[in-house]
Amino acid sequence: MSTSGQPQFRYTQTPSKVLHLRNLPWECIEEELIELCKPFGKIVNTKCNVGANRNQAFVEFADLNQAISMVSYYASSSEPAQVRGKTVYIQYSNRHEIVNNKSPGDVPGNVLLVTIEGVEVGDVSIDVIHLVFSAFGFVHKIATFEKAAGFQALIQFSDAETASAARNALNERSIPRYLLPEHVNSCHLRISYSAHTDLNIKFQSHRSRDYTNPYLPVNPTAIEGVVQPALGPDGKRKEPESNVLLASIENMQYAVNVDVLHTVFSAFGTVQKIAIFEKNGQTQALVQYPDVSIAAVAREALEGHCIYDGGYCKLHLSYSRHTDLNVKAYSDKSRDYTIPDASLLASQVSGLPGAPAVWQNPRPGPIYAGNDYNTGGSVPAQYPSRQMAPWDASMQAGRAPFGSVPSTYPGQNFAVATSQIPSAVSSMGFSSGFPPNVRPGGASSSSQLQPGIPPNVRPSGGPPPGHPTYYGQ
DNA sequence: AGCACA
Protein backbone atom coordinates (compact mmCIF):
# COMPACT_ATOMS: atom_id res chain seq x y z
CA MET A 1 0.00 0.00 0.00
CA SER A 2 2.72 2.43 0.89
CA THR A 3 4.46 2.30 -2.44
CA SER A 4 1.75 1.34 -4.87
CA GLY A 5 -0.90 3.61 -6.22
CA GLN A 6 1.26 6.67 -5.96
CA PRO A 7 0.51 9.31 -8.54
CA GLN A 8 3.16 9.44 -11.16
CA PHE A 9 4.23 12.65 -12.74
CA ARG A 10 5.90 13.86 -15.79
CA TYR A 11 9.20 12.23 -16.56
CA THR A 12 8.74 9.75 -13.76
CA GLN A 13 6.16 7.53 -15.34
CA THR A 14 7.08 4.01 -16.15
CA PRO A 15 6.49 3.14 -19.77
CA SER A 16 3.25 1.46 -20.69
CA LYS A 17 1.69 0.12 -23.87
CA VAL A 18 -1.11 2.47 -23.00
CA LEU A 19 -0.70 6.15 -23.74
CA HIS A 20 -2.71 8.91 -22.20
CA LEU A 21 -3.56 11.72 -24.58
CA ARG A 22 -4.78 15.11 -23.39
CA ASN A 23 -5.97 18.32 -24.93
CA LEU A 24 -7.71 16.56 -27.73
CA PRO A 25 -10.40 18.36 -29.66
CA TRP A 26 -13.87 17.79 -28.28
CA GLU A 27 -15.43 14.48 -29.22
CA CYS A 28 -12.31 13.40 -30.96
CA ILE A 29 -13.06 10.15 -32.67
CA GLU A 30 -11.15 6.93 -32.71
CA GLU A 31 -10.15 7.35 -36.33
CA GLU A 32 -8.31 10.55 -35.49
CA LEU A 33 -6.42 8.83 -32.70
CA ILE A 34 -5.48 5.97 -34.92
CA GLU A 35 -4.34 8.37 -37.59
CA LEU A 36 -2.05 10.05 -35.09
CA CYS A 37 -0.64 6.94 -33.48
CA LYS A 38 -0.46 4.27 -36.14
CA PRO A 39 2.91 5.44 -37.54
CA PHE A 40 4.43 4.09 -34.35
CA GLY A 41 2.85 0.67 -34.23
CA LYS A 42 -0.23 -1.43 -34.14
CA ILE A 43 -3.06 -0.04 -32.10
CA VAL A 44 -5.06 -2.70 -30.37
CA ASN A 45 -7.43 -0.58 -28.38
CA THR A 46 -8.56 2.95 -27.81
CA LYS A 47 -10.74 4.86 -25.42
CA CYS A 48 -12.10 8.17 -26.59
CA ASN A 49 -13.90 11.07 -25.00
CA VAL A 50 -12.53 10.53 -21.54
CA GLY A 51 -12.76 13.07 -18.78
CA ALA A 52 -15.23 15.74 -17.90
CA ASN A 53 -14.43 17.63 -21.05
CA ARG A 54 -14.34 14.47 -23.13
CA ASN A 55 -11.08 15.68 -24.53
CA GLN A 56 -8.80 12.95 -23.31
CA ALA A 57 -8.15 9.52 -24.65
CA PHE A 58 -6.16 6.35 -24.24
CA VAL A 59 -4.43 4.41 -26.94
CA GLU A 60 -3.05 0.96 -26.43
CA PHE A 61 -0.29 -0.35 -28.65
CA ALA A 62 0.32 -3.98 -29.30
CA ASP A 63 3.84 -3.64 -28.02
CA LEU A 64 5.45 -1.58 -25.35
CA ASN A 65 8.26 -0.50 -27.66
CA GLN A 66 5.76 1.04 -30.02
CA ALA A 67 4.39 3.21 -27.24
CA ILE A 68 7.89 4.13 -26.20
CA SER A 69 8.79 5.12 -29.74
CA MET A 70 5.82 7.46 -29.95
CA VAL A 71 6.51 9.14 -26.63
CA SER A 72 10.19 9.43 -27.50
CA TYR A 73 9.46 10.86 -30.89
CA TYR A 74 7.25 13.64 -29.65
CA ALA A 75 9.51 14.31 -26.67
CA SER A 76 12.22 15.39 -29.04
CA SER A 77 10.15 16.59 -31.99
CA SER A 78 9.95 20.23 -32.90
CA GLU A 79 6.41 19.56 -34.13
CA PRO A 80 4.03 18.62 -31.38
CA ALA A 81 1.49 15.90 -31.88
CA GLN A 82 -1.66 17.44 -33.26
CA VAL A 83 -5.24 16.54 -33.94
CA ARG A 84 -7.33 19.01 -35.90
CA GLY A 85 -4.61 21.55 -35.32
CA LYS A 86 -4.67 21.18 -31.56
CA THR A 87 -1.54 20.17 -29.76
CA VAL A 88 -1.99 16.82 -28.10
CA TYR A 89 -0.05 15.94 -24.98
CA ILE A 90 1.08 12.36 -24.80
CA GLN A 91 2.27 10.40 -21.79
CA TYR A 92 2.39 6.88 -20.61
CA SER A 93 -0.72 5.87 -18.87
CA ASN A 94 -0.48 4.60 -15.36
CA ARG A 95 -2.35 1.51 -16.45
CA HIS A 96 -1.03 -1.18 -18.68
CA GLU A 97 -4.07 -2.05 -20.61
CA ILE A 98 -7.32 -0.50 -21.62
CA VAL A 99 -10.14 -2.28 -19.93
CA ASN A 100 -13.77 -2.11 -20.85
CA ASN A 101 -12.72 0.02 -23.65
CA LYS A 102 -15.87 -0.02 -25.59
CA SER A 103 -19.46 -0.74 -25.24
CA PRO A 104 -20.49 -3.11 -27.99
CA GLY A 105 -21.96 -0.18 -29.87
CA ASP A 106 -18.52 1.33 -30.27
CA VAL A 107 -17.05 -1.66 -32.02
CA PRO A 108 -16.99 -0.65 -35.66
CA GLY A 109 -18.89 -2.77 -38.11
CA ASN A 110 -20.68 -2.39 -41.36
CA VAL A 111 -24.10 -2.13 -39.75
CA LEU A 112 -25.16 0.98 -37.90
CA LEU A 113 -27.74 1.13 -35.16
CA VAL A 114 -29.48 4.46 -35.47
CA THR A 115 -31.78 5.74 -32.80
CA ILE A 116 -33.95 8.56 -34.00
CA GLU A 117 -34.99 10.70 -31.09
CA GLY A 118 -37.87 13.06 -30.87
CA VAL A 119 -40.05 11.55 -33.52
CA GLU A 120 -43.22 9.58 -33.56
CA VAL A 121 -43.53 6.35 -35.39
CA GLY A 122 -44.09 7.12 -39.02
CA ASP A 123 -42.57 10.59 -38.93
CA VAL A 124 -39.40 9.37 -40.53
CA SER A 125 -39.97 6.98 -43.36
CA ILE A 126 -37.59 4.33 -44.42
CA ASP A 127 -37.16 6.24 -47.65
CA VAL A 128 -35.93 9.30 -45.82
CA ILE A 129 -33.51 7.19 -43.85
CA HIS A 130 -32.31 5.62 -47.04
CA LEU A 131 -31.85 8.97 -48.66
CA VAL A 132 -29.85 10.39 -45.78
CA PHE A 133 -27.52 7.43 -45.37
CA SER A 134 -27.04 6.81 -49.06
CA ALA A 135 -24.92 9.94 -49.12
CA PHE A 136 -22.06 7.85 -47.71
CA GLY A 137 -22.28 4.80 -49.87
CA PHE A 138 -24.54 2.08 -51.06
CA VAL A 139 -27.05 1.15 -48.42
CA HIS A 140 -27.64 -2.58 -48.67
CA LYS A 141 -30.45 -3.06 -46.20
CA ILE A 142 -32.52 -1.18 -43.67
CA ALA A 143 -34.61 -2.57 -40.89
CA THR A 144 -36.60 -0.30 -38.62
CA PHE A 145 -38.29 -1.13 -35.37
CA GLU A 146 -39.68 0.25 -32.17
CA LYS A 147 -37.82 -0.22 -28.96
CA ALA A 148 -37.93 1.37 -25.58
CA ALA A 149 -35.16 3.64 -26.79
CA GLY A 150 -37.47 4.89 -29.47
CA PHE A 151 -37.58 4.57 -33.19
CA GLN A 152 -34.53 2.70 -34.36
CA ALA A 153 -33.07 1.58 -37.61
CA LEU A 154 -30.35 -0.85 -38.55
CA ILE A 155 -28.54 0.31 -41.63
CA GLN A 156 -26.25 -2.04 -43.46
CA PHE A 157 -23.36 -0.75 -45.53
CA SER A 158 -20.82 -2.64 -47.57
CA ASP A 159 -18.08 -2.23 -45.02
CA ALA A 160 -17.18 -0.73 -41.69
CA GLU A 161 -15.35 2.17 -43.33
CA THR A 162 -18.45 3.37 -45.08
CA ALA A 163 -20.50 2.82 -41.98
CA SER A 164 -18.12 4.79 -39.82
CA ALA A 165 -18.02 7.61 -42.36
CA ALA A 166 -21.79 7.82 -42.08
CA ARG A 167 -21.66 7.57 -38.33
CA ASN A 168 -19.01 10.25 -37.98
CA ALA A 169 -20.93 12.60 -40.18
CA LEU A 170 -24.40 12.03 -38.80
CA ASN A 171 -24.04 11.03 -35.17
CA GLU A 172 -25.69 13.53 -32.86
CA ARG A 173 -26.94 15.45 -35.81
CA SER A 174 -30.42 15.83 -37.17
CA ILE A 175 -32.16 14.81 -40.34
CA PRO A 176 -32.77 17.97 -42.37
CA ARG A 177 -36.10 19.53 -41.56
CA TYR A 178 -37.25 19.59 -45.12
CA LEU A 179 -37.20 15.82 -45.14
CA LEU A 180 -39.48 15.62 -42.16
CA PRO A 181 -43.14 16.30 -41.55
CA GLU A 182 -43.77 19.84 -40.46
CA HIS A 183 -44.75 18.96 -36.93
CA VAL A 184 -41.41 17.35 -36.21
CA ASN A 185 -39.23 19.80 -34.34
CA SER A 186 -36.18 17.83 -33.50
CA CYS A 187 -34.85 14.63 -34.84
CA HIS A 188 -31.58 13.65 -33.27
CA LEU A 189 -29.68 10.73 -34.62
CA ARG A 190 -27.78 8.66 -32.09
CA ILE A 191 -25.64 6.26 -33.99
CA SER A 192 -23.69 3.29 -32.77
CA TYR A 193 -22.47 0.15 -34.40
CA SER A 194 -24.54 -2.95 -34.48
CA ALA A 195 -23.01 -6.33 -33.89
CA HIS A 196 -24.83 -7.53 -36.99
CA THR A 197 -22.95 -7.92 -40.21
CA ASP A 198 -25.77 -9.00 -42.47
CA LEU A 199 -29.39 -8.18 -41.84
CA ASN A 200 -31.98 -10.80 -42.63
CA ILE A 201 -34.71 -8.91 -44.42
CA LYS A 202 -37.65 -11.13 -45.29
CA PHE A 203 -39.91 -8.67 -47.03
CA GLN A 204 -39.85 -5.28 -48.58
CA SER A 205 -42.19 -3.38 -46.36
CA HIS A 206 -42.78 -0.07 -44.70
CA ARG A 207 -40.33 -1.12 -42.02
CA SER A 208 -37.65 -3.02 -43.82
CA ARG A 209 -35.92 -2.95 -47.17
CA ASP A 210 -33.33 -4.98 -48.96
CA TYR A 211 -31.89 -2.82 -51.70
CA THR A 212 -29.73 -5.64 -52.93
CA ASN A 213 -32.73 -7.76 -53.79
CA PRO A 214 -35.42 -5.95 -55.70
CA TYR A 215 -37.28 -9.18 -56.23
CA LEU A 216 -37.85 -9.75 -52.57
CA PRO A 217 -41.60 -10.04 -52.09
CA VAL A 218 -43.53 -7.21 -50.61
CA ASN A 219 -44.73 -7.98 -47.16
CA PRO A 220 -48.13 -9.59 -47.60
CA THR A 221 -49.21 -8.59 -44.13
CA ALA A 222 -48.11 -5.01 -44.21
CA ILE A 223 -51.41 -3.96 -42.83
CA GLU A 224 -49.73 -1.55 -40.54
CA GLY A 225 -48.56 0.19 -43.64
CA VAL A 226 -52.18 1.01 -44.17
CA VAL A 227 -52.45 2.71 -40.88
CA GLN A 228 -49.18 4.47 -41.26
CA PRO A 229 -48.53 5.15 -44.86
CA ALA A 230 -44.96 5.70 -45.72
CA LEU A 231 -43.83 9.26 -46.01
CA GLY A 232 -42.14 10.45 -49.10
CA PRO A 233 -39.05 12.58 -49.10
CA ASP A 234 -41.27 15.62 -48.96
CA GLY A 235 -42.79 14.34 -45.76
CA LYS A 236 -46.16 13.97 -47.39
CA ARG A 237 -48.00 10.76 -47.67
CA LYS A 238 -46.94 9.12 -50.82
CA GLU A 239 -49.49 6.38 -50.96
CA PRO A 240 -50.96 6.77 -54.41
CA GLU A 241 -54.60 7.65 -54.42
CA SER A 242 -57.11 5.47 -56.12
CA ASN A 243 -60.81 5.33 -56.73
CA VAL A 244 -60.77 1.92 -55.10
CA LEU A 245 -60.46 1.66 -51.34
CA LEU A 246 -59.09 -1.31 -49.51
CA ALA A 247 -60.93 -1.77 -46.24
CA SER A 248 -59.55 -3.99 -43.54
CA ILE A 249 -62.10 -4.89 -40.96
CA GLU A 250 -60.77 -5.36 -37.51
CA ASN A 251 -62.53 -6.97 -34.58
CA MET A 252 -65.26 -8.36 -36.72
CA GLN A 253 -67.68 -9.51 -34.09
CA TYR A 254 -70.61 -9.07 -36.39
CA ALA A 255 -71.11 -10.19 -39.92
CA VAL A 256 -70.20 -7.62 -42.48
CA ASN A 257 -71.67 -8.40 -45.84
CA VAL A 258 -71.83 -6.64 -49.12
CA ASP A 259 -74.99 -4.80 -48.20
CA VAL A 260 -73.61 -3.43 -44.99
CA LEU A 261 -70.56 -2.17 -46.77
CA HIS A 262 -72.67 -0.70 -49.49
CA THR A 263 -74.72 1.17 -46.94
CA VAL A 264 -71.65 2.54 -45.26
CA PHE A 265 -69.72 3.53 -48.32
CA SER A 266 -72.66 4.86 -50.29
CA ALA A 267 -72.83 7.79 -47.94
CA PHE A 268 -70.08 9.42 -49.92
CA GLY A 269 -71.04 8.63 -53.48
CA THR A 270 -71.94 5.92 -55.85
CA VAL A 271 -70.43 2.64 -54.97
CA GLN A 272 -69.72 0.83 -58.18
CA LYS A 273 -68.37 -2.47 -57.01
CA ILE A 274 -67.62 -4.30 -53.83
CA ALA A 275 -65.57 -7.40 -53.25
CA ILE A 276 -65.09 -9.07 -49.90
CA PHE A 277 -62.31 -11.50 -49.24
CA GLU A 278 -60.23 -13.01 -46.51
CA LYS A 279 -56.58 -12.29 -46.16
CA ASN A 280 -54.46 -13.69 -43.40
CA GLY A 281 -57.54 -14.46 -41.40
CA GLN A 282 -58.80 -10.94 -41.64
CA THR A 283 -61.75 -9.80 -43.65
CA GLN A 284 -60.93 -7.19 -46.23
CA ALA A 285 -63.00 -5.53 -48.86
CA LEU A 286 -62.39 -3.55 -51.98
CA VAL A 287 -64.83 -0.75 -52.60
CA GLN A 288 -64.86 0.97 -55.95
CA TYR A 289 -66.03 4.51 -56.51
CA PRO A 290 -66.25 6.28 -59.84
CA ASP A 291 -63.42 8.61 -58.98
CA VAL A 292 -60.60 9.28 -56.62
CA SER A 293 -62.12 12.30 -54.96
CA ILE A 294 -65.07 10.38 -53.60
CA ALA A 295 -62.78 7.64 -52.44
CA ALA A 296 -60.62 10.20 -50.70
CA VAL A 297 -63.57 11.68 -48.86
CA ALA A 298 -64.82 8.27 -47.84
CA ARG A 299 -61.40 7.21 -46.73
CA GLU A 300 -60.90 10.30 -44.65
CA ALA A 301 -64.32 10.03 -43.08
CA LEU A 302 -64.35 6.36 -42.33
CA GLU A 303 -60.78 5.58 -41.42
CA GLY A 304 -60.59 4.16 -37.96
CA HIS A 305 -64.33 4.23 -37.45
CA CYS A 306 -66.33 1.26 -36.42
CA ILE A 307 -69.32 -0.05 -38.23
CA TYR A 308 -70.90 -1.02 -34.96
CA ASP A 309 -70.79 0.31 -31.47
CA GLY A 310 -68.32 -1.06 -29.07
CA GLY A 311 -65.34 -1.07 -31.35
CA TYR A 312 -66.73 -3.80 -33.53
CA CYS A 313 -65.83 -4.01 -37.16
CA LYS A 314 -63.33 -1.22 -37.11
CA LEU A 315 -62.39 -0.02 -40.54
CA HIS A 316 -58.91 0.69 -41.76
CA LEU A 317 -58.79 2.18 -45.19
CA SER A 318 -56.12 2.55 -47.75
CA TYR A 319 -56.03 3.05 -51.43
CA SER A 320 -55.99 -0.07 -53.49
CA ARG A 321 -53.76 -0.47 -56.45
CA HIS A 322 -56.81 -1.49 -58.41
CA THR A 323 -58.81 0.98 -60.38
CA ASP A 324 -61.48 -1.30 -61.75
CA LEU A 325 -62.55 -4.41 -59.96
CA ASN A 326 -63.44 -7.52 -61.82
CA VAL A 327 -66.13 -9.02 -59.65
CA LYS A 328 -69.14 -11.21 -59.95
CA ALA A 329 -72.15 -9.03 -60.39
CA TYR A 330 -74.05 -10.65 -57.60
CA SER A 331 -72.64 -13.02 -55.08
CA ASP A 332 -72.47 -13.13 -51.36
CA LYS A 333 -68.94 -11.78 -51.50
CA SER A 334 -69.17 -9.31 -54.32
CA ARG A 335 -71.45 -6.97 -56.10
CA ASP A 336 -71.24 -5.02 -59.31
CA TYR A 337 -73.71 -2.20 -59.06
CA THR A 338 -72.86 -0.89 -62.49
CA ILE A 339 -74.50 -3.77 -64.22
CA PRO A 340 -78.19 -3.10 -64.59
CA ASP A 341 -80.06 -6.06 -63.41
CA ALA A 342 -83.55 -5.98 -64.78
CA SER A 343 -85.09 -7.94 -62.04
CA LEU A 344 -83.36 -6.01 -59.34
CA LEU A 345 -84.16 -2.68 -60.84
CA ALA A 346 -87.70 -3.66 -61.47
CA SER A 347 -88.37 -4.57 -57.94
CA GLN A 348 -86.15 -1.96 -56.54
CA VAL A 349 -88.03 1.22 -56.97
CA SER A 350 -91.46 0.16 -57.93
CA GLY A 351 -94.00 2.58 -56.72
CA LEU A 352 -91.51 5.13 -55.67
CA PRO A 353 -92.16 8.60 -56.78
CA GLY A 354 -89.11 9.96 -58.40
CA ALA A 355 -87.59 6.62 -58.59
CA PRO A 356 -83.92 7.11 -59.05
CA ALA A 357 -83.57 5.73 -62.46
CA VAL A 358 -80.56 7.83 -63.12
CA TRP A 359 -79.15 6.99 -59.81
CA GLN A 360 -78.53 3.54 -60.74
CA ASN A 361 -78.84 1.94 -57.60
CA PRO A 362 -77.69 -0.68 -56.86
CA ARG A 363 -78.88 -1.78 -53.79
CA PRO A 364 -80.77 -4.96 -54.01
CA GLY A 365 -82.67 -3.71 -51.11
CA PRO A 366 -86.14 -4.21 -52.33
CA ILE A 367 -85.49 -7.82 -52.51
CA TYR A 368 -86.21 -7.61 -48.91
CA ALA A 369 -89.34 -5.69 -49.45
CA GLY A 370 -91.58 -6.37 -46.61
CA ASN A 371 -88.88 -6.42 -44.12
CA ASP A 372 -88.72 -3.52 -41.90
CA TYR A 373 -86.51 -1.17 -43.69
CA ASN A 374 -87.30 1.72 -41.53
CA THR A 375 -84.50 0.95 -39.29
CA GLY A 376 -81.95 2.25 -41.64
CA GLY A 377 -83.22 5.70 -41.16
CA SER A 378 -80.44 8.03 -40.71
CA VAL A 379 -77.91 6.78 -43.11
CA PRO A 380 -79.89 7.93 -46.04
CA ALA A 381 -80.84 11.00 -44.13
CA GLN A 382 -77.28 12.02 -44.24
CA TYR A 383 -76.75 11.50 -47.87
CA PRO A 384 -75.29 14.37 -49.66
CA SER A 385 -78.13 16.16 -51.27
CA ARG A 386 -76.89 15.70 -54.75
CA GLN A 387 -77.41 12.08 -54.33
CA MET A 388 -80.57 10.26 -53.90
CA ALA A 389 -80.53 7.61 -51.38
CA PRO A 390 -81.58 4.42 -52.93
CA TRP A 391 -83.99 3.46 -50.33
CA ASP A 392 -85.61 6.78 -50.00
CA ALA A 393 -88.95 5.29 -49.69
CA SER A 394 -88.52 3.86 -46.33
CA MET A 395 -86.16 6.41 -45.12
CA GLN A 396 -87.35 9.13 -42.95
CA ALA A 397 -85.19 12.06 -42.49
CA GLY A 398 -84.92 13.02 -38.94
CA ARG A 399 -84.84 9.68 -37.41
CA ALA A 400 -82.25 8.95 -34.96
CA PRO A 401 -79.44 7.03 -36.49
CA PHE A 402 -79.98 3.82 -34.78
CA GLY A 403 -80.81 2.00 -37.87
CA SER A 404 -79.70 -1.45 -37.38
CA VAL A 405 -78.33 -2.61 -40.57
CA PRO A 406 -78.07 -6.14 -39.52
CA SER A 407 -81.72 -6.14 -38.74
CA THR A 408 -82.55 -5.57 -42.31
CA TYR A 409 -81.18 -8.87 -43.25
CA PRO A 410 -83.40 -11.38 -41.69
CA GLY A 411 -81.35 -14.20 -42.93
CA GLN A 412 -78.68 -13.37 -40.46
CA ASN A 413 -78.86 -14.40 -36.97
CA PHE A 414 -78.21 -11.49 -34.76
CA ALA A 415 -79.77 -13.11 -31.83
CA VAL A 416 -77.84 -11.27 -29.25
CA ALA A 417 -78.93 -9.59 -26.15
CA THR A 418 -80.38 -6.22 -26.91
CA SER A 419 -77.76 -4.52 -24.88
CA GLN A 420 -75.15 -5.96 -27.12
CA ILE A 421 -76.79 -4.96 -30.30
CA PRO A 422 -74.51 -2.96 -32.38
CA SER A 423 -75.97 0.36 -32.97
CA ALA A 424 -75.43 1.12 -36.46
CA VAL A 425 -73.66 1.85 -39.48
CA SER A 426 -75.62 4.97 -39.67
CA SER A 427 -73.90 6.88 -37.01
CA MET A 428 -70.46 6.42 -38.32
CA GLY A 429 -68.24 8.37 -40.44
CA PHE A 430 -69.82 11.71 -40.61
CA SER A 431 -67.49 13.57 -38.45
CA SER A 432 -65.48 15.01 -41.22
CA GLY A 433 -66.20 13.68 -44.62
CA PHE A 434 -69.54 15.17 -44.90
CA PRO A 435 -70.34 17.89 -47.32
CA PRO A 436 -70.90 20.91 -45.15
CA ASN A 437 -74.07 21.99 -46.77
CA VAL A 438 -75.86 18.83 -46.07
CA ARG A 439 -77.78 18.92 -42.90
CA PRO A 440 -79.25 15.73 -41.78
CA GLY A 441 -82.75 16.38 -40.73
CA GLY A 442 -84.18 16.91 -37.35
CA ALA A 443 -83.57 14.61 -34.54
CA SER A 444 -80.77 12.82 -36.16
CA SER A 445 -78.66 15.83 -35.74
CA SER A 446 -78.40 14.90 -32.15
CA SER A 447 -76.16 12.19 -33.31
CA GLN A 448 -74.07 14.37 -35.48
CA LEU A 449 -70.60 13.88 -34.50
CA GLN A 450 -67.97 16.43 -34.06
CA PRO A 451 -64.53 15.74 -35.27
CA GLY A 452 -62.63 13.81 -32.74
CA ILE A 453 -65.64 12.31 -31.11
CA PRO A 454 -65.97 8.61 -31.51
CA PRO A 455 -68.59 7.93 -34.09
CA ASN A 456 -70.59 5.29 -32.48
CA VAL A 457 -71.40 6.77 -29.18
CA ARG A 458 -75.06 6.39 -28.82
CA PRO A 459 -76.70 9.56 -27.69
CA SER A 460 -79.26 7.76 -25.66
CA GLY A 461 -77.93 4.34 -25.35
CA GLY A 462 -80.68 2.30 -26.87
CA PRO A 463 -82.92 1.85 -29.80
CA PRO A 464 -85.01 4.85 -30.60
CA PRO A 465 -88.36 4.96 -28.98
CA GLY A 466 -91.12 3.62 -31.04
CA HIS A 467 -88.90 1.31 -32.89
CA PRO A 468 -89.35 -2.30 -32.31
CA THR A 469 -86.40 -4.33 -31.50
CA TYR A 470 -85.45 -5.97 -34.66
CA TYR A 471 -83.15 -8.46 -33.26
CA GLY A 472 -83.84 -11.83 -32.02
CA GLN A 473 -84.55 -11.64 -28.39
C1' DA B 1 -3.31 20.25 -19.68
C1' DG B 2 -2.59 15.60 -15.64
C1' DC B 3 -5.71 9.08 -16.16
C1' DA B 4 -11.18 5.67 -17.90
C1' DC B 5 -13.99 1.46 -16.28
C1' DA B 6 -18.63 -0.09 -12.85
* Per-residue confidence in pLDDT tens, chain A, 473 aa: 444 444 555 556 899 999 999 999 987 888 899 999 999 999 999 999 898 888 999 999 999 999 999 999 999 999 999 999 999 999 999 999 998 766 778 888 999 999 998 888 788 999 999 999 999 999 999 999 987 778 999 999 999 999 999 999 999 899 988 899 888 888 889 999 999 999 999 999 999 999 999 889 887 665 444 444 445 555 555 578 899 999 999 888 888 999 999 999 998 889 999 999 988 778 899 999 999 888 998 998 899 988 888 888 899 999 998 888 888 899 989 999 998 765 555 444 443 443 333 333 333 333 333 333 333 333 333 333 343 333 333 333 333 333 334 333 333 333 333 333 344 443 443 333 333 232 333 333 333 333 333 334 333 333 333 333 333 33
Q: How far is CA A372 from CA A94, A151, A236, A404, A409, in A?
A: 92, 53, 46, 10, 9
**Edge-to-edge strands of the sheet including A43-50?**
A43-50, A56-61, A18-22, A89-92
Half-sphere exposure of A178 (CA within 13 A, CB side): 1
Q: How far is CA A226 from CA A120, A176, A223, A300, in A?
A: 16, 26, 5, 13
Nearest to A266 by CA among A163, A125, A364: A364
Residue nearest to nucleotide B6 (CA to C1'): A100
User: Contact, A97 vs A18, CB < 8 A?
Assistant: yes
A321 Cβ neighbours under 8 A, 6+ residues apart? A240, A242
Angle (deg, nearest 10), helices A292-302 and A258-266: 100
CB neighbourhood size of A320 (10 A): 21
Helical H runs in A238-330? 258-266, 292-302
Distance between the alpha carbon (CA) of A20 and the C1' atom of B4, Å: 10
Question: Could you give the CA distance from residue A228 to residue A78 in angstroms, rounded to a whole number?
Answer: 62
CB of A45 nearer than 7 A to strand B: no
Residue nearest to nucleotide B4 (CA to C1'): A50
pTM (two decimals)? 0.37
Question: Could you give the CA distance from residue A442 to residue A462 in angstroms, rounded to a whole number?
Answer: 18
Phi, psi of A406 (to 5 degrees): -60, -30
User: Contact, A13 vs A94, CB < 8 A?
Assistant: yes
Question: Could you give the CA distance from residue A95 to residue A99 in angstroms, rounded to a whole number?
Answer: 9
Nearest to A383 by CA among A341, A345, A439, A343: A439
Q: Smallest CA–C1' separation from A96: which nucleotide? A: B3
Burial A174-189 (b: 16+ CB within 10 A, else e): bbeeebbbeebeebeb
Chain B footprint positions (protein CB, under 7 Å): 1-6
User: Contact, A455 vs A294, CB < 8 A?
Assistant: no
Distance between the alpha carbon (CA) of A252 and the C1' atom of B4, Å: 59
Nearest to A372 by CA among A354, A352, A391, A353: A391
- Amino acid making up residue A244: V
User: Contact, A272 vs A266, CB < 8 A?
Assistant: no
Question: Could you give the CA distance from residue A389 to residue A382 in angstroms, rounded to a whole number?
Answer: 9
> In this structure, is the dihedral angle defined by the CA atoms of residues A425, A430, A432 and A436, taken in order, positive or negative?
positive
DSSP state of A174: B
CB of A98 nearer than 7 A to strand B: yes
Q: What is the pLDDT of residue A267?
A: 86
